Amino acid sequence: MDEYFKLYDVTSRAIKSCDLRIRVGGPAICGVDDEHWMRSFLEYCLEKKAPLDFFTRHSYDTEMPEKDGRYVYQKLRPHEGFMSEPKQSRAIIDSFPEFKGMEMHITEFNTSYSPLNPIHDTNLNAAYIARLLSELGDTCASYSYWTFGDVFEEAGVSFTPFSGCFGLLANGMIPKPTYWTFVFYKNLFPTAVAKNEHFIVTKSNEGDLRGIAWNPVEGHRMKNNCVFHLT
């Protein structure tokens, strides 16, 4: 922790010395003692007067992995467990008067944090992510799905489609189910008129309606997973 804080301090000052318009932020924490890291980071920035324009974190939503051959398998946490992380982060940031209301960006999020988990290639992933997209904007300035494609080097690049990697696109530019979740959201209208844990409905300036509904079901009923685009 001390070494990271020092690295952030030196780096952020170097960037600002080149151009004050360049925005900097951190600490991109992801699980494991979140609250201690977040509070300590903000306290450090206050004490050292380190530049801080926005706050970042990562969020994933699976329990500990069980390895089976090449792959790992993980149960999803309840939706409320995932959403508690950005809400907690928002509350911690706002507890500092100097940082109250500061932008928070989730620079990585997904179901599993492993690039060897088949859940990434499933309808379940698409349906689970659909609800997250309807709620993350309530606390976050932006939230970036991890990742765009399966050509990902951290655990070695996979050379076959549907290898369990993070991407919206499998090798060969094949769209996965979650890719279509993002397509559905892109086609929504600007104004939300109704939203709950099962759907979101939006309206155009002309009064037309478009919505999305989802039904994530984990376990032996995975065939029931679906995302609907309603026009």
pLDDT at residue 221 is higher than 60: no
For 137-171, how does the pLDDT look when each residue is reduced to its tens digit (9 = 90+)?
999 999 999 999 988 777 777 778 888 999 999 98
For 170-212, how does the pLDDT look when each residue is reduced to its tens digit (9 = 90+)?
988 999 999 999 999 999 999 999 999 999 999 999 999 999 9
pLDDT band (50, 70, 90) for residue 33: confident
For 83-110, how does the pLDDT look when each residue is reduced to its tens digit (9 = 90+)?
989 999 999 999 999 999 999 999 999 9
Compute the distance between CA of residue 23 and CA of residue 54 in angstroms, rounded to an integer: 8
Please state the CATH superfamily assignment of the domain spanning residues 53-188 in this structure. Glycosidases (3.20.20.80)
Domain residue extents for the chain: 53-188
Overall average pLDDT of the 28-44 stretch: 90
HEC assignment per residue over the chain: CHHHHHHHHHHHHHHHHHCCCCCCEEEEECCCCHHHHHHHHHHHHHHHCCCCCEEEEEEECECCCEEECCEEECCECCHHHHHHHHHHHHHHHHCCCCCCCCCEEEEEEECCCCCCCHHHHCHHHHHHHHHHHHHHHHCCCEEEECCCECCCCCCCCCCCCCCCCCCCEECCCEECHHHHHHHHHHCCCCEEEEECCCEEEEECCCCCEEEEEECCCCCCCHHHCCEEEEC
What lies within 8 Å, CB to CB, of 143 at 6+ separation is 105, 106, 109, 132, 133, 136, 137
**Six-digit token pair at 71?**
């792959």
Neighbours of 67 (CB within 10 A): 10
pLDDT band (50, 70, 90) for residue 223: low
What's the half-sphere exposure (Cβ side, CA atoms, 13 Å) at 174? 11
